[in-house]
A and B are shown apart, each in its own frame.
Chain A
Amino acid sequence: MRDPLRTHPSVVNFLDRVCARIWDKRRKAEVREELLSHLEAAMAESGSDIEIDELIENFGDPDVLGSNLRRAQRTWVQKILRLTAGGAVLGVLTLYFSSRHFANFYEEKIRVHADNLALHMSRFETEQERLAAIPLFEESTTDLKADAGEFLNDRLAKNDLIALEPEVGAWIRQWWAEPIPDNLKKVDLQWVQRLRAYDHWDLFASGPNSKFLGPEAKAVNPFTLPVPEFQFLPAGARLHLRRGLDKRDIVPALEDVRHLARLSYTTETLIGSMVAIALLKMERVAYGEAIRRGIIAPGDYPVFEVEELEQLRKTLWVTTGFADYSAPIQARQVFLSQHWPIGACSAIGESAQSYVLAAAYLEKIYPFERDMQERLQVVDELLEKSKPHCRLKFHRQAVVRYKEYAQTMIDDGFSMADGIRGNFEKYRFILGRHLPFFRQALGLELIAIAKPSFTLVYEREN
């Protein structure tokens, strides 16, 4: 009875089909033996050869049975591993296609940004030429004699004015007319006059940031450097101007504030440039108030016109958009071929800062990968060209050692974002280190988000 059953064509076909679905050889042999034993027992009971096909039919579809048996033999660990592997493959595929989509999206955004820069190029150059004659915005690394950083850098985080911020905040709206709050009356502003002894302000040569300079300096996240509390400068300037108005001796106060604006501009930071413009606007308000009070006559002091200040603000802002590796052709056109633009040092500093992170994601790590480092070449060129004009010591150092500095940003969880978003950013950047297509999309995204917003000033006007 045993041999005929084992060799019966229907049985052989049935068992072959069931076992074809089972991959493990030992399991396959066991299932074969077990089902044969079942058929034998059933045959022994019915005793007729004709019923073999009917008996086999009772098992249902052999392919389905084989698949069900294979699944039944899978342990939980195997099931979890299988699900995990499936999930990982699906995840990588999703990442791949979404990365391609975002890479195309950001490339288009970068292209549009370059087109916009080209469109605004002649206006930008005209405005730069007009503003280039203003000595306040000259940039030079030569003839620097005294660094206000020695005096200011250690005092930036805490000072009388920051401690009195609630009073300052309420008073500043009408600072030239409203009575000075009692607490502000006691504030010592001798330092505003003392700053006249300095001709520039370096945030790195002394104070808390000085330890980040030099070949032995540890890499640090450029976005988390101790930032000066710039807001105390406008607060101090208002109080100083107001005291000048009240003493009817405004010109020295106007000169002090003008000098303060110059120092703020020489920090080579965008915020320093914007604070400089804010200080010049205050100077203008104090000048107008001094005329109204009959302290001085129109023309006694050379202030900037309101339109000129607005143009300065826009141009300093837009310069940041031009000094960028997202549009290398336009950047070279502006920075490498004409007179040195105003606002160039802070603009290049901003570019260098974003270069540090983007560079780490635009380089080729694996074979056949696309290398996009040439996009960043322009930042090296701008830094080289800027040597007679800008100090940018920290930025030069960070660009050379960009890998170390980029790592600090990733380790910090991209500290510009907090909480869940911070963690999300962190893992996105870590993932970018290992997946070529994801890294390239991320690199393009970093380029695309870095600067295009700076030219919106022009676009909004149009």
Chain B
Amino acid sequence: MVNPELLKGSMITLVLKALAKRQMYGYEIMKELGRLSGGEIDVKEGTLYPILHQLETDKAIESEWTEGVGERKRKYYRLTRKGRALLKEKASQWESFRKVIDQMLATELRGLS
């Protein structure tokens, strides 16, 4: 299981990534993140919903209430154009960050060995 402390700051990217394929409702997003991470990432509801609402306020995602036959109304979220651009930007930032950390850790490890 990934340390939740390490996930801080990356959750927005992961939620955007989950919504990149198709529209989903909250519970579905949570399950999708679990699936995408192979069960390594456990997103709490208390974390997910504020992120969804923040992204909606920022117009990175938009929502629609849909009611299926015999089902409760569900609030589906989908990525907007702004959200796609944000995902691209966040992914690029993450890539740079990862490279720097990898490089630093590799140097440190060489020093230890």
Number of chain B residues whose Cβ lies closer than 8 Å to a Cβ of chain A: 20
8 Å CB contacts to A: which residues of B63-113?
Answer: 65, 72-75
Beyond A42-B27, A58-B46, A65-B46, whether A37 also contacts B72 by CB under 8 A is yes
A69 close to B53 (CB less than 8 A):
yes
Are B72 and A34 within 8 A (Cβ)? no
Q: Decide: B46 and A64 in contact? CB cutoff 8 A.
A: yes
Contact of B27 among A38, A60, A65, A69 (CB under 8 A): A38
With contacts A37-B72, A38-B26 taken as known, whether A73 is within 8 angstroms of B57 at the C-beta atoms is yes
Contact between A59 and B73 (Cβ–Cβ < 8 Å)?
no
A65 touches B57 (CB 8 A): no
- Distance in angstroms from A132 CB to nearest chain B CB is 81
List the B side residues contacting A38 at CB < 8 Å: 25-27, 45, 49
Residues A72 and B72 in contact in the complex (CB < 8 Å), given A38-B26, A41-B27, A60-B44: no
Contact B45 A58 (CB under 8 A): yes
Q: Which residue on chain B has the smallest CB distance to residue A67?
A: B50
Contacts of B54 in A (CB 8 A): 72
Identity of the chain A residue whose Cβ is nearest the Cβ of B30 in the assembled complex: A38
B25 touches A37 (CB 8 A): yes
State how many angstroms separate the Cβ of A2 from the closest Cβ of chain B: 6
* Chain A hits for B57, CB < 8 A: 72-75
Q: Does B51 contact A (CB under 8 A)?
A: yes
Q: Are B44 and A34 in contact (CB under 8 A)?
A: no
Q: Which of A34, A61, A64 has the most CB of B within 10 A?
A: A34
> In the assembled complex, how far is the CB of residue A146 from the closest CB belonging to chain B, in whole angstroms?
81
Query: What are the residues of chain A within 8 A of B73 when measuring CB–CB?
Result: 33, 37
> Which B residue sits closest to A5, measured CB to CB?
B72
Interface residues of A in 36-95 (CB under 8 A from B): 36-38, 40-42, 58-61, 64-65, 68-69, 71-75
A71 adjacent to B50 (CB under 8 Å): yes
CB distance from A284 to the nearest CB of B (A): 82
A68 to B50 CA separation, bound complex (whole angstroms): 6
CA distance A42 to B50 in the complex (A): 18
Contact present for A40 and B44 (CB under 8 Å): no
Shortest Cβ distance from A60 into B: residue: B46
Considering only residues 9-51 of chain B, those with a C-beta below 8 Å from chain A are 25-28, 44-47, 49-51
Question: From residue A14, how far is it (CB to closest CB) to chain B in Å?
Answer: 11
Interface status of A30 (Cβ within 8 A of chain B): yes
Report the bound CA distance from A30 to B52 in whole Å.
Answer: 13
* Min CB–CB distance B79 → chain A (angstroms): 17
Contacts of A372 in B (CB 8 A): none
B46 touches A30 (CB 8 A): no
A72–B46 Cα distance when bound, in Å, is: 12
**What 6 pairs between A and B have smallest CB-CB spacing?**
A60-B46, A72-B53, A68-B50, A72-B54, A41-B27, A59-B45
Interface on B for A, CB 8 Å cutoff? Answer: 25-28, 44-47, 49-54, 57, 65, 72-75
Q: What are 7 contact pairs spanning A and B, CB under 8 A?
A: A31-B49, A37-B74, A38-B27, A58-B46, A65-B46, A65-B49, A72-B53
| Contacts A36-B72, A38-B49, A59-B44 supplied; 14 other A-B pairs, CB < 8 Å | A33-B73, A34-B75, A37-B25, A37-B73, A38-B26, A38-B27, A38-B45, A41-B27, A58-B45, A58-B46, A60-B45, A60-B46, A65-B45, A73-B53
